[in-house]
Chain A
Amino acid sequence: MVYPPFLILERMKFSQFNSIVFYNNKFFIYNAFSNNFLLIEPLLKDLLDAAKLDNDAAGLEEIHPLFYAKLVQDGFIVADDKDEVQKVKHLREQVDLLDDQNYVLTINPTMNCNFSCWYCYEDHIKDSKMNKEMVENVITHIKTVHQNLPHLKDFALSWFGGEPLLQYSNVVDPVLTFCKSYFDSKGVNFRSVFTTNGFLINRKMVEKFKETNVNGFQITLDGHRDMHDKVRFVNSKRGSYDEIVENIMMLCREGFDVNLRINYTKDNLKSATSILADILPLEPEYRENLEVAFRKVWQETDKTLGPQVVSFAKMFRAAGFKAISGGSPDNVRRSCYADKKNHATINFNGEVYKCTARNFASSAKEGDLNKNGQVDWNEKYHDRLDIKFKNPPCLVCPILPICNGGCSQKALENAGKDYCVFNFDENAKKTMVLNKILEMAVETA
């Protein structure tokens, strides 16, 4: 191993972003800022503890020079004058506020839906749909965004709702057609994704999706057939599971990325094995197009389901699918679109929001789309962009660089009080760190 020269004269300290977790009679030490980890023998953990107790990071160098060098190289030991929180703030600014190369636009063509899931947080509005004038305003908005961002490289269009495909002909098709042509002519990368229940997708749509740079779908199942069909049904005799699974496999075979979200409760979780059996006919070469994501229904209060979810995710991975169990936050580098300056969610009626995980009530809107294609943002938008790093417990937390108190929505809902998305449970944080190391693609270094 070759190590770079170090600032030997500089006083060093242990990074505040280190976590140590027990694993198979050894320990992982993980740094949430550098994303590096070391697997260490217990004796080295004892050495670390002793050095930390004595506040003598550099003392390790005399006992184990190579270990010390590696700790410095990988960000576990840093210069004493480093303001580590400031580094995270700087990173957040780069990602959320200063990135002028990316724009994400979310459109809700309707607040209507062909299903009525018991856990949905939205108020569905039966006759809601984006009218022609609003579609024109959206297209003007897209042109305005491009004109105002001279360095724009990637424009992502995300369809949400309600069920967006209920307004395929009136809204989705004309906007996709415009975007494909417009951004091709401007040399900007354009892609589009759908959050859809997947029931209305047909061959004709798929051909159009291929022509207009649609590349991904998030489609949800609520457990296996019997359970799913009790939640999402056409009528008392007709469910939707079989059609949706068929459409998921068609999309994968056509080269689209499909994020199969399994909304689980303690009652339907075990049926994931039957879902796997249903998608196994997908040929191996297409399986990597399918990522399975387990998400607990937000009303489910059982907190003991985590290990089962991890084992189910492993089962899907073993069969060649991608799978995530939902326990691996990365809220600074991979922050939510709603945390970013260059994002808007335009509702069917021209009201503009950021977060898509709350009801689209007029009282919660953060702006309005005007006829010039610009968004007139209100104070809620500015409050959102300013809410990060306001929660004192986060500023001394070892996982600040990956958690940061959750998304901006969570921070806004807890404004003015000390909070922790892990309920101040240090063991829960360590379990998350361990799962992150065990589950995420890992590089040796």
Chain B
Amino acid sequence: MSQDQTNSNQEKKGQETKLDQINKDLETNKLREDEQGKIEGGFASGAIKDVIEDGNNIWCNEHC
């Protein structure tokens, strides 16, 4: 397997734990109309998770 293929597979695996899950949630919560004419489904939710631990933002994002 080439390095490119390895990278591609790892990337796919990584994505499945994040946005792919939300896409799957949307697949299982399809937009539909109930008997009273009200709409159901059509959305899936997520939240941005902090990737920086508290107090660790000690490097400037500017041009230092």
> Which A residues form the contact surface with B (CB < 8 A)?
26, 34-41, 43-44, 47, 62-67, 70, 74, 102, 104, 119, 121, 154, 156, 158, 160, 193, 195, 218, 259, 295, 297-298, 314-315, 317-320, 326, 329-330, 333-338, 355-357, 407, 409, 436-438, 440-445
Contacts and interface: CB of A to CB of B under 8 A. Distances in A.
Contacts of A63: 38-39
A445 B48 CA distance: 10
A28 B22 CA distance: 11
Interface in B10-34: 10-11, 14, 18-19, 21-23, 25-26, 31
A39 B43 contact: yes
Contact of A43 (B7, B42, B64): B42
A287 to B, nearest CB: 11
A444 B25 contact: yes
B48 A436 contact: yes
A116 to B, nearest CB: 16
Nearest to A337: B58
A37 B11 contact: no
A207 to B, nearest CB: 23
Nearest to A60: B39
Most chain A Cβ neighbours within 10 Å, of B7, B19, B64: B64
Contacts of A297: 63
B45 interface: yes
A156 B58 contact: yes
B48 A440 contact: yes
Given A39-B25, A357-B64, A436-B48, 15 more contacts: A37-B46, A64-B40, A65-B38, A67-B39, A70-B45, A193-B58, A195-B59, A218-B59, A320-B10, A440-B51, A441-B50, A442-B46, A442-B47, A442-B48, A444-B46
A277 to B, nearest CB: 9
Interface of B: 7-8, 10-11, 14, 18-19, 21-23, 25-26, 31, 38-52, 55, 57-64
Nearest to A73: B45
A154 B7 contact: no
B55 to A, nearest CB: 5
B48 A336 contact: no
Contacts of A355: 60, 62
B31 A334 contact: no
Given A193-B58, A326-B61, A357-B60, A40 B10 contact: no
Given A26-B26, A41-B31, A337 B42 contact: no
A64 B38 contact: yes
A36 B51 contact: no
Which 10 residue pairs spanning A and B have beta carbons closest together? A357-B62, A298-B63, A318-B11, A357-B64, A318-B7, A41-B42, A441-B49, A64-B39, A35-B48, A442-B18
